[in-house]
Amino acid sequence: MSWKSALARGLGFVRGNDARSRDLQAEIRSHIELETDENIERGLDPVEARRAAFLKFGNPQLAQESSQAMWSVPTLESIVSDFKYGFRMLKNAPLFSAVAIVTLAAGLGSSIGVFTVANAVLFRKLPYPDLDRIVLMWGGDRKTGERGQVSFTDTEDIRSRNRVFAAISNYADWTPTLSGQGDPERLAATQVSNGFFDVLGIKPSIGREFTEEENIDGNDNVVILSHNLWTRRFNADPGIIGRTILLNAVPHVVVGIMPEDFETLPSTLVQGGELYRPIGESYDDTQRRAEHLRAIARLKPGFTSAQAEADVERIARELESEHPKEEADIHYSIASLQVDAGHELRPSLTILGWAAAMLLLIACANVAGLLLARSNNRQKEFAMRSALGAPRSRLLRQAFTESLILATLGGAIGIAIAEVAARMCVLLAPKLGSSLVKVSIDTTSLAFGGCAVLLTSILFGLAPALQSAKANISSAIKQGGQNKEVSRGGQRFQSLIVIGEFVLALTLLTVAALLVQTFVSLQKVDVGFRPERKLLMNVWLPSMKYKKPEQQVQFFDELIRRVAHLPGVKSAALVQNPPLGNFDGRAILPEGRADIPQNLLSPQAYFITPDYLQTMEIPLLQGRGFSAADNESGQLVAIVSQSLANRMFPGQDAVGRKLQLLSDKKIDGKYPSRVIVGVVGDIRHLGPDARVTPGLYVPFRQLPVTWMSLVVDCESPSAIVPSIRGELRTIDRDVAAFKISTYEDLLSDSLLIRKLAMGLISTFGGMALFLAAVGLYGLLSYGVSVRMREFGVRAALGALPADLVKLVLRSGLKLVLLGGLVGIVSSAVAGRFAASVIAGTIPPDVLTITTSFAILAGVAVLASLIPALAAGRANPASTLRTE
Amino acid sequence: MQGTLDMLILRTLLLGPVHGHGIARAIEQTSDDVLDVDHGSLYPALQRLLQEGWITAEWGVSSNNRKAKFYSLTRSGRAHLRKETSRWERFSRAISQILNPARQE
């Protein structure tokens, strides 16, 4: 279409179809008048001439209507018929449709899923008034540029000297134990300083905020409850205001309750907001570097983050000149809360986003290939429709309608996949140490999905649609429905994509196989203790109530005594730092080994009750275990693990030797000696995929602490939890049990990252394999459909069907081999990379790569088989007849 | 067949701008009244050709001083006609060969 007619058409649209109709009407009238004139010239009288002219013209109304039908605003009716026709075509080719839809669902599903998570994490507007004025203030060092937390005193100086903030406040995580009513519970709470709720712009809906006096140490035993905690623990009783609740066994007065729709800061900044309490620090020049707080502020209207940063920088330099030692090189950066909230997750989401986009592109390329193959087979149909008067635009529209149907169906399934994936993200996030509050498909992600569907249908539908519209009757009929004009470039491009898909599939399959093998072997690893039938429960004593070691010992002795007598319990013990928990290395000095530098040996220290080794079924190799006699009044003793014994006294008997534990209290300015009374087996403290950790065991009574973990060996670990809670309550209602889990669950959680990586890579590997198979199938089918005449001629010249099948299979296998060769190299590299990222993953070996390649080749043969068999059916008679 | 009508219209316009009535008359004459059609059915075809961008239209005055809309061939219309004509000729030659095998010698 020339630019002039395009312009005219555009103008036509602007003028509207009314004007066009009138124009057409005038034209038809003029036509009839011209005919009448001619008839009069021929000698007819004017009335007869006019009648004949109308007769000749036919029905003007009909002419007008059917002319208008040609205008390009399609009528609803024709769109409906396009869709009906499209559905019928897809139903007639169920295999093709299913493959195309699943392919698109995979691509669209992953894209929508990643978008949904990204949208929730990065783009969702946090529900605070004037959100764009809320900023985070990070401390840090001017030289290194690292950002970190801030001190209370510095924040107070910035509060009093700044010109940009309407409010500024510190906040920090706090995990108190709530007791007194019902089961004691550990809460995810936040400590805040003056002005926190002013910064967020939301006030308690019942009661009041903290006063300035309440922020001072000593007056700070006040709390504001979240709506959730208030309803969950206090039955939404408004009378709670003014009453006291016990937090860490200390009474706190409830002064306020937050509104129901109030949302605490994002989980990337705080662990939770079940209740709020003042920080209770005071201005102290010596505490300028006590940087254990975070800061959040609200800008005055009209100020930008950059202006705020400049102003805070000015204050920082003032502080530096006033306190040159403490404030050297101090630097504060200001970042918008909205932008910063998703800061941590941004890189991984970016990578995921690109991966999903790539997957979608590959899916598009594949479906385009499939459609091309099909449109080639449908050439005759399109040619026929064109011959019957369908304008090119209509054929294009038809082809796009079919693409759109495919994409929409794929998108619908994709959205379902994305919803499941998003839910899994939410489920898994806390276990991975980060949390996503609410992630689910919403209108925004639906809109994104809609756009993606439209865009992809254009992307993969364009080439096939153009080809359909090129259809013309003569060549189509002459060639028996085959288009001879194959775009060589297009073919080569598609071959490249297919090869790339095979490389990707082989790489992912190999890595997945390595991860699976690693995982299976890890299941068999001996962790050094028996995880079966074990329950682990953390117990934290409120330190205000249990100040003296005797009190702690008394509580824990009582706990053990009671739990050990519960029905079904084989044995029970206490340990600080149980296996699969944190690493807590304690420096020791073996006696007689002055050559070993201090701090070189810092084994994992376990403070245990006598029954611990027996409860965990850790084997005693030499000497004896602890007994009740190994208490505060007995001799200081220790048990070491095999590997620690070997390191301290290689080739010698460790039992009877001595060591100093640098955590012991000095007696007369010297660390007391502990006698090694036994050697036990090593355990893998950090999980089955970690190395054995040298371990040191010390009787708990000789070094008491306020928090311990209870380990119970019993028939049904999860069923006994309520009884243990009951015992805890009987001893002290202020003590909470938390992080309760069976050891088997803990063990499986310790492999969670591995499981996740394995699941993800296997899924992607499977998806890549499927896409590669679809790509190959599409490419070969297209090739076969184009070469059908050639195959017919070959058959006529004596080629057997088997030869033709082999011919196609060979061309498919050629691509697979090419992809395989590159893939072997890339999977070797990727396998090594995986081993470096996920420690302990077995390195790629020949067998694994060969097996993956065999799977790949098998799938490729299957994908090639359908088009190959079609080639084998080439019929010389029909080919020659159409020649 | 509509494809045929398209070609007849385009061919008529090869000689220069013609109005709708003129096109109808010309088709009647050149095709020996074989493809006699209602004049009205010309207009959907004209609209379609406009849509495809093969022809343009402009109001003018006829030889007997009547207002009429004149159609003329665009460059792409000309190209299309050329392509279609050669295809058509090949096609009709094939058909006539099938129908009159004797004349082949």
Strand order of the sheet with strand B55-61?
B18-19, B67-73, B55-61
Q: Determine, yes or no, domain membership for A441.
A: yes
Could you tell me if A777 and A864 are in contact, meaning their C-beta atoms sit under 8 angstroms apart? yes
Out of B41, B44, B67, closest to residue A69 by CB? B44
Hunting for tokens 């591995």 — which residue is that? A754
Co-location of A60 and A95 in the same domain: no
Q: B46 vs A67: CB contact, 8 Å cut-off?
A: yes
> Does A694 map to a domain?
yes
Return the SS3 of A62. Answer: helix
Is A739 within a domain?
Answer: no
Contact A31 B88 (CB under 8 A): no
Which has the minimum average pLDDT: A240-244, A505-509, A604-608, B1-5? Answer: B1-5
Q: Identify the pLDDT of residue B33.
A: 55
3-state helix, strand, coil in chain B (%, to 5): 65, 15, 20
**Distance from the Cα of residue A520 to its chain's centroid:** 25
Shortest distance, CA A342 to any CA of chain B (angstroms): 51
Low-confidence winner among A216-220, A308-312, A615-619, A636-640 (lowest mean pLDDT): A216-220
Residues in chain A within 8 Å Cβ distance of B48: 70, 391
Chain B 40-99, residues with CB within 8 Å of chain A CB atoms: 40-44, 46-48, 50-53, 56, 62, 64, 66-69, 74-76, 87-88, 90-91, 94
- Alpha-carbon gap, residue A579 to A785, rounded angstroms: 64
- Whether A397 contacts A405, CB under 8 Å: no
In-domain check, residue A747 = no
Q: Which residue has the tokens 């994709």?
A: A414
CATH number for B75:
1.10.10.10
The alpha carbon of residue B50 is apart from the nearest alpha carbon of chain A, in Å, by 8
Q: Residue holding tokens 């119970």?
A: A712
For residues A674 and A10, which has the higher predicted lDDT (pLDDT)?
Answer: A674
Residues of chain B neighbouring A392 (CB-CB closer than 8 A): 52
Strands A147-148 and A294-299: unpaired
Q: Which two tokens stand for residue A320?
A: 């530096």
Domain of residue B98: give its range.
Answer: 2-104
- pLDDT band at A2; cut points 50, 70, 90: very low
- Chain B positions touching A36 (Cβ under 8 A) are none
Which is more confidently placed, A419 or A607? A607
Classify residue A566 by its DSSP letter.
S
A198-202, A470-474, A650-654, A774-778: which is most confident: A198-202
| Residue A674: strand pairing partners | A659
**Which member of A56, A64, A72 has the closest CB to residue B39?**
A56
Count of CA atoms in the C-beta half-sphere (13 A) of A680: 27
Q: How many of the other CB atoms lie within 10 Å of CB of A733?
A: 16
Number of domain units in chain B: 1
Confidence band for A534, pLDDT divided at 50, 70 and 90: very high
pLDDT of res. A469: 67
Shared-domain flag, residues A522 and A547: no
Name the DSSP class of A343: G
Segments forming the whole domain that contains residue A36:
3-73
Instruction: Give the minimum alpha-carbon distance from A57 to chain B in angstroms, rounded to a whole number.
Output: 4
Band of pLDDT at residue A110, cut at 50, 70 and 90 = confident
Residues of chain A contacting B39 with CB distance shorter than 8 Å: 31, 35, 56-58
Task: Please name every residue paired with A741 in a beta bridge, in sequence order, or none if there are none.
Answer: A536
What CA–CA distance (Å, rounded) separates A846 from A337?
51
Q: What is the pLDDT of residues A355-390, one digit of tens each?
A: 778 778 888 888 888 887 777 767 777 777 776 666
- What mean pLDDT do residues A600-617 have? 89
Rounded Cα distance between A529 and A548, Å, is 33
Same domain, A271 and A292: yes
Residue in chain A closest to B19 (alpha carbons) equals A31
Same domain, A511 and A368: no
Q: For residue A552, what pLDDT is reported?
A: 87
**Burial track A162-185 (b if 16+ CB lie within 10 A, e otherwise):** bebbbbbbbbbebebbbbeeeebb
Strand pairing category for B55-61 and A588-590? unpaired
Residue pairs between chains A and B whose CB atoms are closer than 8 Å: 113
d(CA A55, CA A285): 107
Predicted local confidence at residue A77, as pLDDT: 66
Q: What is the pLDDT of residue A342?
A: 66
Has residue A486 got a pLDDT over 60? no
Mean pLDDT of A392-415: 85
ipTM above 0.90, yes or no: no
pLDDT: which is higher, A12 or A748: A748
- Chosen from B48, B55, B61 to mutate, greatest number of chain A CBs within 10 A: B48
State pLDDT tens for residues A436-477: 556 667 787 888 888 888 888 887 787 777 776 665 555 555
B41, A58: Cβ pair inside 8 Å?
yes
Task: Tell me the CA distances in angstroms from A586 to A7, A449, A578, A709, B23, one per residue in order.
Answer: 83, 54, 15, 18, 103
Task: Look at residues A373, A294, A379 and name the one whose alpha carbon lies nearest to residue A335.
Answer: A294
- Whole-number pLDDT of residue A13: 46
Give the count of domains, chain A. 5
CA dist A479 and A882 (Å) reads: 6
B57 DSSP assignment: E
Residue in A closest to B21 by C-alpha:
A31
Name chain A contacts of B41, Cβ cutoff 8 Å. 58, 63, 66
Identify the residue among B18, B38, B39 best suited for mutation to test binding to A, counting A beta carbons within 10 A and taking the highest: B39
Burial of B86 (0-12, 13-18, 19+ CB in 10 A): exposed
**Cα–Cα distance, A33 to B100 (Å, whole number):** 45
**Are A600 and A699 part of one and the same domain?**
yes
Query: Radius of gyration over alpha carbons of chain B, in Å?
Result: 16
- Please, which pLDDT band fits residue A201 given cuts at 50, 70 and 90? very high
Q: Is the pLDDT of residue A744 over 70?
A: yes
CB contact (8 A) between residue A391 and residue B48: yes
Instruction: Dump pLDDT digits (tens) for A73-100.
Output: 556 667 777 888 888 888 888 878 888 8
Contacts of A752 (CB under 8 A, 6+ apart): A428, A431, A432
Given a contact cutoff of 8 angstroms between Cβ atoms, the answer to whether B74 and B55 are in contact is: yes
Instruction: Kindly state whether residues A376 and A463 are assigned to the same domain.
Output: yes
* pLDDT reading at A351 higher than 90: no
CA distances from A460 to A104, A489, A731, A779, B75 (A): 10, 17, 70, 14, 31
Question: Could you tell me which residue, A873 or A493, shows the higher pLDDT?
Answer: A873
- What are A806-821's pLDDT values in tens digits? 888 888 888 888 888 8
The predicted structure's pLDDT at residue A206: 92
- What is the distance between the alpha carbons of residues A784 and A789, in angstroms, rounded to a whole number? 9
Q: Choose between A754 and A279: higher pLDDT.
A: A279
User: Cβ separation of A67 and B52 shorter than 8 Å?
Assistant: no
| Domain limit, last residue, from A340, A365, A381 | A340
Shortest CA distance from B83: residue in chain A: A472
Residue A740 falls inside a structural domain: no
Please name which of A672, A601, A690, A609 lies closest in space to residue A641, comparing C-alpha atoms.
Answer: A601
Which residues in chain B have their CB less than 8 angstroms from residue A389's CB? 1-3
- Alpha carbon A818 to its chain's center: 33
Q: Is residue A534 part of a domain?
A: no
The alpha carbon of residue A55 is apart from the nearest alpha carbon of chain B, in Å, by 8
List of residues 6+ apart from A829 with CB closer than 8 A: none
Using H for helix, E for strand and C for coil, what is the string for A634-653? CCCEEEEEHHHHHHHCCCCC
Q: How far is B2 from chain A (nearest CA, A)?
A: 5
Q: Residues A619-677: pLDDT tens digits?
A: 999 999 999 889 888 899 999 999 999 988 888 899 999 998 888 888 888 888 999 99
- Put simply, the chain B residues between 4 and 33 with a CB less than 8 A from any chain A CB are 19-21, 24
CB-nearest partner of B62 from A2, A34, A59: A34
**Cα–Cα distance between A508 and A817 in angstroms, integer?**
17
Q: Return the amino acid letter for A374.
A: R
- Cα nearest neighbour of A24 on chain B: B43
Which residues from B are below 8 Å from A8, CB to CB? 56
pLDDT of residue A481: 43
Q: Is A882 on the interface with B (CB under 8 A)?
A: no
Chain A nearest-CA residue for B54: A1
For residue A482, is pLDDT > 70?
no
What single-letter amino acid sits at A439?
V
Give the residue among B81, B46, B101, B48 at the shortest CA–CA distance from A394.
Answer: B48
For A529, phi then psi, to 5°, come to -135, 170
Report pLDDT for A638.
94
Where does the pLDDT of residue A417 fall: very low under 50, low under 70, confident under 90, or very high at 90 and above? confident
Shared domain for A492 and A479, answered yes or no, is: no
What string of DSSP letters covers A254-277? EEEE--TT---S-TTT-S--SEEE
- pLDDT tens per residue across span A697-713: 999 888 877 778 999 99
Which residues on B lie below 8 Å from A478 (Cβ)? 91, 94
Q: Please, which pLDDT band fits residue A833 given cuts at 50, 70 and 90?
A: confident
Residues 374-433 of A with CB under 8 A from B: 386-389, 391-393
The band of A489, judged by pLDDT with boundaries at 50, 70 and 90, is low
Chain B: closest CA distance from residue A459 (Å): 23
Tens digit of pLDDT at every position of chain B (105 positions):
456 778 888 888 988 899 988 888 888 877 665 455 678 888 888 888 888 888 999 998 888 888 889 999 998 889 888 888 888 788 778 778 777 765 544
Q: What is the mean pLDDT of chain A?
A: 83
Residue A572: pLDDT band (50, 70, 90) is: very high
pLDDT of residue A168: 95
Instruction: Write the residue in A6, A24, A34 that is nearest to B66 by C-beta.
Output: A34
The region of weakest confidence among A314-323, A438-447, A817-826, A857-866 is: A438-447
**Antiparallel, parallel or unpaired: β A673-680 and A658-661:** antiparallel
Please report the pLDDT score of residue A609 as a whole number: 92
Asked if A42 is an interface residue toward chain B (Cβ–Cβ < 8 A), one would say no
Amino acid A691: pLDDT: 82
- Let me know whether A210 and A301 are in one domain: yes
A198 with A109, same domain: the answer is no
A62 touching B (Cβ < 8 Å): yes
Both structure tokens of B102: 């004797």
Of B50, B66, B76, Cβ closest to residue A33: B66
Nearest-CA residue of chain A relative to B57?
Answer: A5
∠ CA(A860), CA(A861), CA(A864), 5° rounding?
Answer: 85
**Residue A345 in this model has a pLDDT that exceeds 70:** no
Contacts of B73 in chain A (CB under 8 A): none
Residue A402 tokens, joined: 């079919």
The minimal CB distance from A34 to the residues B3, B68, B75 is found for B68
CB pair distance less than 8 Å for B51 and A474: no
pLDDT of residue B105: 43
The answer to whether A767 and A102 have CB atoms below 8 angstroms apart is no
Q: Smallest CA–CA separation between A394 and chain B, in Å? A: 11
Whether residue A510 contacts residue A847, with contact meaning beta carbons closer than 8 Å, is answered with no
Q: Which helix (H) or strand (E) holds A197?
A: helix A196-200
Question: Which of B8, B18, B21 has the most A C-beta neighbours within 10 Å, making it the best mutation to test the interface with A?
Answer: B21
Assess A69–B contact: CB distance below 8 Å, yes or no: yes
In a 3-state reduction of DSSP, which class is residue A298? Answer: strand
Tokens of A422: 């998003």
Q: How confident is the model at residue A15 (pLDDT cuts 50, 70, 90)?
A: very low
pLDDT, position A843: 83
